[in-house]
Structure 1
Amino acid sequence: MARFIGRWLADSIRLGLALLLALAAMQLPALAHGYVSALQQVALATERDIAERQEIARQFYRLPLAAQEAEVMARLREAEPANAAGLVASRERMAILRATHDRIAAASPLIQPVLALWDGLRDARADKHAILMTTLESHVPAVMLSAAPATYGLAGLMLGLLLGELLLTPFRRRSRHAA
């Protein structure tokens, strides 16, 4: 009876770990999609902020409505260099976010989670790590059935089974020596 319960418990641990990792791995494509969407939203918000700040400068310095961005920036550089530098930094941030969004969105759905995770952890520019952490915190787990989640789920299932075997191997050796 003890051997039966031991086998049942070992099988339950292996299966539970495999299912847990499979479901966790299936979340990766949705997390990548959320990260890409967040990049686009932050880039758009930055673009709106830049436009508003330029419009305020245009009004403050009484520049014509048709004044080009270069004209507004030239006026800001001479009167408010810190504000001009802030606008340049915001424009660079927006360009980085857009380029990252475009690069990840253009990749294969199977590669997107890897690119998103790598980008969010490695690239400190433009607050990408904060965007990734916000995406992780706001993610609502769901099971999606398409090629990418199914592939990641299968990989998670196999990894879970392997980890379960590795976890239970020392106990199996002890029970064989005891018998």
Structure 2
Amino acid sequence: MAGFVGRWLSDALRLGLPLALALLAMQVPAVAHGYAAALLQIAEDARRDIEQRKASARRFYRGAGEADEAVIAALQAVEPANAQALAASVERARALRAAHDRIEAAPPLLRPVTALVDAAEDPAGGDKWAVLRTAFDTHVPQVVLSAAAAVYGIAGLVAGSFVAELLVSAFGAVFGPGRRGRGDAARFAP
């Protein structure tokens, strides 16, 4: 009976773990897409805020032109703190938009890798990691059939099969031969 349960558990592990990892890996492209979409949304929101601040500066200071740099230069003379804040906002919006553009320009299979590298190389000190965490937290798992999801799913299936086989082999090495060896020795002893 113990042999039957052991075989059943090892078969269940060999089947279940690869399927679970395949489904988990299939979510990677969707999370990367959510991250890129969130970057774009935040960049567009920041750009709207910048345009409102520029319009306000143009109303009060005649020397402020249309370009970001012209408005910042006009503000620098009279309100250096506002000029510095506006310059930081402009740079942040540009960086977020550039990150989105880099991810979208990458081939579909490499977008998750590009997104992860982009978040890891964040010079702003955590803005992109926060966006990535939010994209991950708000992601609703689903099975989307795309080429990228299929490739990641197959990779998860292979990795899951390998890990399951390692676990079953390790479990068999620890509990299997020692018991069989003692039992066989006792059975064949005179």
Secondary structure of 2:142's match?
coil
* DSSP-derived class of the 1:110 partner: helix
Per-residue CA deviations over 1:31-83 (Å, capped at 9, x if unaligned) read: 1111111111111111111001111122233x38x943354323310111011
Q: Taking structure 1 as the reference length, what is the TM-score of the superposition?
A: 0.91
Q: Within 1, Cα distance between the matches of 2:130 and 2:138?
A: 12
Note the C-alpha offset of 1:164. Answer: 1.1
Distance 2:31 2:152 in 1: 12
Shift of 1:168: 2.0
> 1:124: Cα distance to partner?
4.1
- Aligned counterparts, 1:21-170, within 5 A: 21-61=21-61, 63=62, 67-69=65-67, 70-125=69-124, 127-170=127-170
Report SS of the residue matched to 1:123.
Answer: coil
For residues 10-25 of structure 1, what are the structure 2 equivalents within 5 Å? 10-25=10-25
Instruction: Provide structure 1 residue ranges, at least 5 long, that are not aligned to the other structure.
Output: none
Which gives a bigger RCO, structure 1 or 2 (Cα 8 Å, sep 6+)? 1
**1:104 Cα shift?**
1.0
Alpha-carbon distance between aligned partners in 1 of 2:60 and 2:91, rounded to the nearest angstrom: 24
Unpaired stretches in structure 2, ≥5 consecutive residues? 181-190
Distance 1:87 1:166 in 2: 56
- Residue identity opposite 1:19 in structure 2: L
Cα RMSD, aligned residues only: 1.7
2-side partners of 1:125 and 1:111: how far apart?
23
Partner Cα separation in structure 2 for residue 145 and residue 119 of structure 1: 25
> Structure 2: which amino acid aligns with 1:90?
S
Amino acid at match of 1:46: A
Q: Distance in 2 between matches of 1:15 and 1:124?
A: 43
Distance change (3 Å), C-alpha of 1:124 and 1:166: farther
Aligned-partner SS, 1:125: coil
> What's the TM-score once normalised by structure 2's chain length?
0.86
Give the aligned partner of residue 177 of structure 1. 178
* Paired letter, 1:68: E
Amino acid at match of 1:88: A
Aligned length: 177
Larger radius of gyration: 2
Q: Residue 177 of structure 1: CA displacement?
A: 2.8
Return the offset for 1:91: 1.1
